[in-house]
Amino acid sequence: MNTSVAVKDLTLNFGASTVLKKMNLDVQEGEFIVLLGPSGCGKSTLLNCIAGLLEINEGEVWIKGKNVTWDEPSDRGIGMVFQSYALYPQMTVRGNLSFGLKIAGTSKDEIEKRVARAAEILQIGPLLDRKPGALSGGQRQRVAIGRALVRDVDVFLFDEPLSNLDAKLRSELRVELKRLHNRLQNTMIYVTHDQIEALTLADRIAIMRGGIIQQLAPPQEVYNRPVNLFVAGFIGSPGMNMLNGAVVDGGKSFQVGGTKVSLAGYDGGTNIDRSKAILGLRPEHLLIHHEPEPGMTIPALVELDEPMGADSLVWMECEGHQLSVRVPVENRPTAGTTVHLKVEIHKASVFDAESELRI
């Protein structure tokens, strides 16, 4: 597989603060990579740098084997889709789609061909002669994608394209985007703060924080083996349960309050004791047992539960922590009872409390 887009030691300063610090990223051909993170983490900034809309201070941007660091956006072989669609309001849909091609001097026939192809793929044929003002949000976003499609480029950049849509439309278009990627097999770099979009769409996710990529890995790995506390807390809804404690017994057990849990079967390296550690358990990796199993279960007091359709989220108090456990709705325990939670240790993550790294 070839590298489609590469960012090398990219640094960007805004005044006195450094927004992106010596960033490195390699995107493979045909890959769908998602830049995910909270606001201000620099994901949009990075995308705009790749697009050439922002000037960088240090480093290089390579697209398709060419150094495009000083090239204009339109010369980089990219198409871009914006959060607010950014359609030219005075032009028809057809006009919007063909604007860039006209500037590039493409022949009329070629323009017609490409517009027709984009219209067919995105199902916007009947809209071609309307103006953006007469379109719904979902239609506008398709036209915005169409504008990138007609450019016949290999790399598509998406800047939070679904954030302006309501929940239902968002999930519909999410599926459409996945279908589109399957069909076109283009390289797509996608920015979002919504982890659901990231988990469902990405081949790899780059989680960013403070201008630094925390972890770059396929969704399942990010979910199951988060590289640090931040990633663990960011991915997954409802969030991962965090238990403060220590690694003891030569790395064989985790002590939380008065309970010890065996670390046998843990997917990671724990040979040394650590006096301050955190055990991370996702709500679905805790099973309710009614009998204690020493070394395998933790006692917890049931407080309340939140029924969510098929599952229920049960909140419990355990050794001074609040835990949430996902339970099928018919098996909800009653409030006030003490249960014993079996820990699926091979799905858990242990973090060093100071470095916040996964052990």
Residue span binding another protein (CB under 8 A) among the ranges 95-103, 192-200, 234-242, 289-297: 95-103
Q: How far apart are CA 188 and CA 79, in angstroms?
A: 10
Contact positions with another protein (CB under 8 A) in 29-48: 48
Residue selected from 16, 65, 72, 107 as contacting another protein according to rule CB under 8 A: 72
Q: Per CB under 8 A, does 92 bind another protein?
A: no
297 CB-contact burial (10 Å; exposed 0-12 / middle 13-18 / buried 19+):
buried
Q: Which residue of 15, 65, 89, 336 would you call a contact of another protein, by CB under 8 A?
A: 89
Residue 90 found at the interface with another protein (CB under 8 A) = yes
Strands 311-318 and 241-248: unpaired
Amino acid at the residue 223: Y
Does the protein bind another protein through residue 230 (CB under 8 A)?
no
Q: How far is the CB of 136 from another protein (least distance, A)?
A: 18
10's CB contacts (< 8 A; 6+ apart) are 20, 22, 23, 24, 46, 49, 56, 58, 59, 60, 61
Cα pseudo-dihedral 133, 135, 138, 140, rounded to 10: -50
Nearest alpha carbon to residue 154 among 63, 83, 71: 63
Rounded Cα distance between 263 and 348, Å, is 9
13 in contact with another protein (CB under 8 A): no
Beginning with the edge strand found earlier in the chain, give each strand of the sheet holding 155-159 in spatial order: 78-81, 155-159, 187-192, 32-36, 204-209, 212-217
Q: How far is CA 85 from CA 51, 135, 166, in A?
A: 16, 12, 15
- Least distance from C-beta 54 to another protein, angstroms? 10
Least distance CB 84 / another protein (angstroms): 5
Only segment of 69-77, 179-187, 189-197, 322-330 that touches another protein (CB under 8 A): 69-77
By CB under 8 A, tell whether 162 contacts another protein: no
Q: How far is the CB of 325 from another protein (least distance, A)?
A: 43
Q: Helix, strand, or coil here: 207?
A: strand
- Which position among 30, 59, 73, 137 is part of the footprint of another protein (CB under 8 A)? 73
The region of 79-87, 121-129, 202-210, 219-227 touching another protein under the rule CB under 8 A is 79-87
In the stretch 123-152, what mask flags binding to another protein with x, by CB under 8 A? ------------------------x-----
Measure CA of the first residue to CA of the last residue in the chain; give whole Å: 31
**Smallest distance, Å, CB 6 to another protein?**
16
- CB nearer to another protein: pick between 73 and 137: 73
DSSP 181: H
Are 32 and 202 in contact by the 8 Å Cβ rule? The answer is yes
Tell me which of 79, 211, 236, 245 binds another protein, using CB under 8 A. Answer: 79
The site for another protein (CB under 8 A) is made up of 48, 51, 53, 67, 70, 72-75, 78-80, 82-90, 99-100, 103-104, 147, 159
